[in-house]
Amino acid sequence: MGSVLKKWKLPAIMLGPFIVLIFLFFFLPVVLIAILAFTSMDSAMRWDFNGLANFQKLVTDPNILLIVKNTVIYVGFTLLINVFFGLVLGILTTYFIQKESVGLFFRTIWMLPRISPPVVYVLLWLWFFDPSEYGVLNSLRAIFHMPPKEWLTTHPMVAVILANGLIGASFGMIIFSSAIKSIPKDLFYAANVDGASQWSIIKDIIIPAMRWPLMFVTLWQFLSLLTSYEYILLLTNGGPLFESEVLALYSYHKAFRNFEFGYGSAISLVLVLIALIFSFIMWKLFGMKKMMGSSRIE
Amino acid sequence: MKKITASVLSTFILAMGILSGCGKTDQSVGSESNEDKSKVVTIEAQTAAPEITRVENLEKAAEKLNEELKQQGKDIRVKVKTNLFEGSWEEYAKQFMLAFKAKKEPDIYATGHENIGWLADGNYILPLDELKKSKEYSDVFSTLWDSVTYKGHIWGALQDTEARPVFYNKDVLRKLGWSEEQINNLPEKVKNGEFTLDDMTKLAEEAEAKGLVQFGIIHRPVDGSDFHVMVYNFGGKLYDPEENKIVLDKKAVEKQLNYYYEIAQKKLIPGNLTQMEWSSIHKAVVNGKALFYYGGIWNVFNWSQDNFHEKLGKVDEKWINEHFGMMLIPAAEKGGKPITLSHPFVYTVSSQTEHLELVKRLLELVANPALQAEHDVKTFHLPVTKSAAEHPDFKANETLGNVTYMLEYTTFLPNHEGFPKYSKAVFDAIQAVELGKKTPKEALKDLEVQLKNDLGDQLKIVE
């Protein structure tokens, strides 16, 4: 008994708080959602179990096809911007700008939206797309004597993808620049001596060395995009009608606008399942287990 | 190391001392009540911004209650703790729901009468049937009791009511060549059913065609009660009290959707009306950019609170009466009855309150005519009792006097728990036809599917 205590005392002290937090704020909510999804809980907040009724309702929901389509478009395109633009930024600020202080300066600029509160960040986008002649885009149009346009009404998805894509790119940028930095300098020297072009350095040295960070950023951003809705909520609130409504936001709206907590949880549970299935596929597909091992370059 | 620890500790202790010194003021409050040796009972009351008089009146009623208690020789004194909520109506409902579950909800929760359904179904509030028998509520305008009745019980103490008139811009009509007499007679013509909804649309078209206004008509930008009055106007129903079901009256709803489709197709309303902010709506109306506005009598209060007018900033009642008239919503057919909708505000009582008897007495005292009149005049609402309507302060107000007759033409929303879902779905349908994404027929078809899905067996469809 004494030896067991001795063996686990330090790990328990070190990990305990985090295990408690993870249990309270990550694991418990999922369990609660899974239970709630099978109830008809509404504004009366009663736990009345109703079997699969919520899922039947989800299948027959007249808006669900549009919302699923929106979710695919939103996650797909935002992810593309997140990863691709993040990669471009990473390469630009670490490989092309060799001077550390200058690279750091540009990276900090790109990090600014991430450290500003979402409401403030979205406010800037709202001003950018404002339908009056005072909006940034519309005042640019005014220079060419074009009438103001209602951007958020006519192109809600584009606005949502741009706002999310640009802020998300900074995450990839940070991960990618540190990955590029960890590539041994010798490889670049050797390539330069051999007269390799810039493109072939990027294609044959940088990208192959970044398979793991690329994979990680893609999966991470995929999961967070699937369940994120705060920028959409603030920017278009899913509108006009359901044109920029995604599954995560729909779950929020059903639970906290219509007070259908059971139904909202059922939608969330579907999201959890999608996330689990995709994580599993990616894990298998990209051989994550192998990549978790030590770097193959060193 | 020891030095550092010591200095950190001493700083900490010093800071504690300073902070505890700051906290002293709190303690002095308690000693006051000890002086007259009576027990202080705190009753919490909450309302939504901006009409703070709804809870301030409770504070004043508490003074009277305390006098009563003193006369009765009871050693209890009531203190009302007020709370003003700022945010959307959904958030206001959500906040109460969660506060209730955490047992931190107010004893008195002031809210719109249509919330009674879900509040009662969820056992959040208590029935208040005795209030109807009390002396203070004996002269309530009798139709108003319907708005607080649900499943055969009274669930709220009526606080105020209002009229939702259509504001018309007098300046625009003057420019159209109308005489002062014609302008001032418009409400009368509407009342007699001579000026119909179609006439209103035509007049809006004329004003827009002549370039006198940017928009012929403006209505509220977000989901709300106003839209449903059109179902009543087109002869439909929203609720079946016998079966306790929400009604989708397909004929009336199609006419309702047609109406919004028509005014949007004719470009009488702003293209992005349902995406606009409230402040932009107020600005457009106050600055004379619209001929008709489906508003509420309390807008007179709103416009005096914020700088909506480009040049004048805040505008007072006198200015508003010079530039705007108020009329009922015109009848759908010639010779028909015009209509409006009232949305009485009520005090509900939490089912977890520990001071039910005191709260009930407080709600009786707050119906005092003088208190009602003060609130009504300040915030431009209408009283719920006849004695308050006769109060000199209320009678002295010209604007309110001009619209009190509207109570005879008023209707209410149903108190059913599922009504917010119905309301949301109908608003989506209206938005779809206004944006030209659907025709009224398509929108109605989708609406039916949506409502069947959302409400299930709470819905009754009338072909």
- Would an 8 Å CB–CB cutoff place A57 in contact with chain B? yes
pLDDT of B286 strictly over 90: yes
* The pLDDT value given to residue A8: 86
Calculate the alpha carbon distances from B17 to B23, B27, B95, B425 in Å. 10, 16, 36, 58
Q: What is the mean pLDDT of residues B293-299?
A: 92
* The pLDDT value given to residue B10: 52
What single-letter DSSP state applies at residue A115?
H
Q: Which residues of B442-458 are buried (b: 16+ CB within 10 A; e: fewer)?
A: ebbebbbebbebbbeeb
Q: Which domains does chain B have, with CATH numbers?
A: 38-161+343-411 (3.40.190.10), 166-342+415-462 (3.40.190.10)
Mean pLDDT of chain A: 88
- Is B435 in contact with A57 (Cβ distance < 8 A)? no
Q: Is the peptide bond before B50 cis (omega within 30 degrees of 0)?
A: yes
Range list of β-strands (E), B213-260: 215-218, 239-240, 245-249
* The pLDDT value given to residue A290: 67
Q: Is A20 inside a domain boundary?
A: no
Mind telling me how many Å the CA of A138 is from chain B's nearest CA? 15
What's the pLDDT band for B448 if we cut at 50, 70, 90? very high
Condensed to tens digits (0 to 9), the pLDDT of residues A110-128 reads 888 888 888 999 999 988 9
Helix (H, G, I), strand (E, B) or coil at B383: coil
Residues 6 or more apart from A83 whose CB is under 8 A from it? A172, A214, A217, A218, A221
Cβ-nearest to A45 among B97, B446, B453: B97
- Is B271 in contact with A153 (Cβ distance < 8 A)? yes
d(CA A205, CA B34): 81
Asked if A103 and A180 count as a contact pair (C-beta separation under 8 A), the reply is no
pLDDT of B13 strictly over 70: no
- Would an 8 Å CB–CB cutoff place A47 in contact with chain B? no
- Is B93 in contact with A259 (Cβ distance < 8 A)? yes
- Is B428 in contact with A241 (Cβ distance < 8 A)? yes
* The pLDDT value given to residue B272: 83
- Is B271 in contact with A257 (Cβ distance < 8 A)? no
Comparison of pLDDT for A95 and B282, the residue scoring more: B282
- Is A239 in contact with B275 (Cβ distance < 8 A)? yes
What single-letter DSSP state applies at residue B225?
G
Q: What is the mean pLDDT of residues B399-411?
A: 86
Q: Which of B449, B450, B453, B455 to mutate to test the interface with A (most CBs of A within 10 A)?
A: B453
Condensed to tens digits (0 to 9), the pLDDT of residues B152-166 reads 899 999 999 988 999
Consecutive H or E run containing A273: helix A261-285
Condensed to tens digits (0 to 9), the pLDDT of residues A74-101 reads 999 999 999 999 999 999 988 888 788 8
Residues 6 or more apart from A249 whose CB is under 8 A from it? A229, A232, A233, A238
* The pLDDT value given to residue A291: 63
- Is B275 in contact with A240 (Cβ distance < 8 A)? yes
Condensed to tens digits (0 to 9), the pLDDT of residues A4-62 reads 788 888 888 889 899 999 999 988 998 999 999 999 888 888 888 988 989 998 998 88
Cβ-based contacts of A45 with chain B (< 8 Å): 97, 101, 122
Q: What is the mean pLDDT of residues B219-225?
A: 90
Measured between CA atoms, the residue of chain A closest to residue B423 is A258
Q: Backbone phi, then psi, for B226, in 5-degree steps? A: -55, -35
Angle at A68 between CA A63 and CA A71, to 5 degrees: 125
pLDDT of B345 strictly over 90: yes
Q: pLDDT above 90 covers what percent of chain B?
A: 61
Residue found by looking up tokens 């208040």 in the block = B128
CA atoms within 13 A of residue A115's CA, in its CB half-sphere: 6
d(CA B110, CA B404): 23
* The pLDDT value given to residue B444: 94
Consecutive H or E run containing B81: strand B76-85
d(CA A35, CA A156): 34
Q: Which of B421, B427, B434, B451 to mutate to test the interface with A (most CBs of A within 10 A)?
A: B421
What's the pLDDT band for B26 if we cut at 50, 70, 90? very low
- Is A43 in contact with B421 (Cβ distance < 8 A)? no
Consecutive H or E run containing B48: strand B39-48
- Would an 8 Å CB–CB cutoff place A256 in contact with chain B? yes
Cβ-nearest to A256 among B94, B275, B431: B94
Cβ-based contacts of A153 with chain B (< 8 Å): 271-272, 275, 435
Measured between CA atoms, the residue of chain B closest to residue A62 is B450
Measured between CA atoms, the residue of chain B closest to residue A41 is B122
Range list of β-strands (E), B178-220: 215-218
* The pLDDT value given to residue A279: 86
- Would an 8 Å CB–CB cutoff place A56 in contact with chain B? no
d(CA B51, CA B296): 14
Residues 6 or more apart from B343 whose CB is under 8 A from it? B112, B113, B114, B161, B162, B164, B225, B412, B413
* The pLDDT value given to residue B334: 87
Calculate the alpha carbon distances from B119 to A24, A297, B127, B146 in Å. 30, 65, 11, 16
pLDDT of B29 strictly over 90: no
* The pLDDT value given to residue B167: 95
d(CA B51, CA B23): 32
Report the 10 Å Cβ neighbour count for B351.
16
Q: Is the confidence metric ipTM above 0.90 for this complex? A: no
Q: What is the mean pLDDT of residues B237-266?
A: 93
Number of domains in chain A: 1
Q: Is A22 inside a domain boundary?
A: no
Condensed to tens digits (0 to 9), the pLDDT of residues A237-257 reads 887 888 899 999 999 999 988
Mean pLDDT of chain B: 88
* The pLDDT value given to residue B275: 80
d(CA A74, CA A68): 10
Q: Backbone phi, then psi, for B191, in 5-degree steps? A: -60, -40
What's the pLDDT band for B323 if we cut at 50, 70, 90? very high
* The pLDDT value given to residue A292: 61
Calculate the alpha carbon distances from A35 to A24, A248, A264, B176, B283 in Å. 16, 18, 12, 64, 48
Mind telling me how many Å the CA of B62 is from chain A's nearest CA? 31
- Is B118 in contact with A258 (Cβ distance < 8 A)? no
Residues 6 or more apart from B462 whose CB is under 8 A from it? B236, B237, B247, B248, B249, B250, B251
Condensed to tens digits (0 to 9), the pLDDT of residues A268-297 reads 999 999 999 988 888 787 776 666 665 555
pLDDT of B4 strictly over 70: no
Measured between CA atoms, the residue of chain A closest to residue B445 is A62
Asked if B341 and B229 count as a contact pair (C-beta separation under 8 A), the reply is yes
Q: What is the mean pLDDT of residues B98-116?
A: 92
Measured between CA atoms, the residue of chain A closest to residue B435 is A240
pTM: 0.79
CA atoms within 13 A of residue B417's CA, in its CB half-sphere: 20
pLDDT of B32 strictly over 60: no
Q: Which residue range is the domain that position A175 belongs to?
A: 33-291
Q: Is A189 inside a domain boundary?
A: yes
| Positive or negative torsion for Cα B449, B454, B455, B456 | positive
pLDDT of B23 strictly over 50: no
Condensed to tens digits (0 to 9), the pLDDT of residues A143-179 reads 888 888 888 888 999 999 999 998 889 999 999 999 9
Q: Is A8 inside a domain boundary?
A: no
Q: Is A165 inside a domain boundary?
A: yes
Helices and strands in chain B: count of H runs, count of E runs = 22, 16
pLDDT of A194 strictly over 50: yes
Asked if B319 and B292 count as a contact pair (C-beta separation under 8 A), the reply is no
Q: What is the mean pLDDT of residues B342-359?
A: 93
Asked if B246 and B414 count as a contact pair (C-beta separation under 8 A), the reply is yes
* The pLDDT value given to residue A293: 60
Calculate the alpha carbon distances from A297 to A206, A208, A217 in Å. 11, 10, 20
Consecutive H or E run containing B347: strand B345-349
Q: What is the mean pLDDT of residues B357-373?
A: 92
**What CATH code is carried by the domain that includes residue A277?**
1.10.3720.10
Rg of the Cα atoms in chain A: 24
d(CA B162, CA B344): 7
Q: Which two tokens stand for residue B254?
A: 């199609």
Mind telling me how many Å the CA of A263 is from chain B's nearest CA? 10
